[in-house]
Amino acid sequence: MRLAFGTDHAAYALKATMLPLLRARGHEVDDLGCHSADPCDHPDYIIPVAEAVARGDYEGAIVACGTGQGSAIGANKVRGIRAALCLTPEMGRLARQHNDSNVLVLPARLITTEQAMAIFDAWISASFEGGRHARRMDKIAEYERRHICP
């Protein structure tokens, strides 16, 4: 799968350890920043990642910051993005199955690399179930079309 990965400084170390693991599993992953542990603002990296997914440049993305909250808020401002903050593999699986998540949000200060990879594995291997969940996602997409600027 072709993925983008963006973080702030608080999640830089997590990204640095995850990138080679993701690539070793055959995923094409582009690092869209940040590129050091120097303090920075997560919207500078998270929003461009979300925009790239929304444009179709990537099939999905991983974003992260200290708690994941800021990354989730920022990514979800982009029309068409369904960013899900996940702390367990079950949350990752359900984010895809029930909410058709296209951006996985990780809380770097709250999980280990091993936990992050388990969450990613559950997220990436799940598929959207549709059905009653599609009706709900359609309602959100309709709201976006009517109220959110492109």
- The model's pLDDT over 134-148, given as tens digits with 9 standing for 90+, comes to 999 999 999 989 987
Structural domain including 114 reads: 2-147
DSSP-derived letter for residue 1 is -
Pick from 94, 74, 91, 93: nearest CA to 136 = 94
Active site members? 65, 98
* Number of compact structural domains in the chain: 1
Separation of alpha carbons 111 and 103, rounded Å: 18
- Looking at residue 32, its pLDDT comes to 98
**pLDDT tens digits, 16-75:** 999 999 999 999 999 999 999 999 999 999 999 999 999 999 999 999 999 999 999 999
Residue 116 is part of a domain; what is its CATH number? 3.40.1400.10
Q: In the prediction, which pLDDT does 148 show? A: 77
Task: Please report, for residues 9, 16, 35, 86, the alpha-carbon distance to residue 78 in angstroms, rounded to integers and kept in the order given.
Answer: 22, 25, 23, 19
Q: Does 81 score more than 90 pLDDT? A: yes
Helix axes 89-99, 113-125, angle to 10 degrees: 30
Distance CA 65, CA 46 (A): 9
Q: What is the pTM of this model?
A: 0.96
Q: How many CB atoms lie within 10 A of CB 125?
A: 11
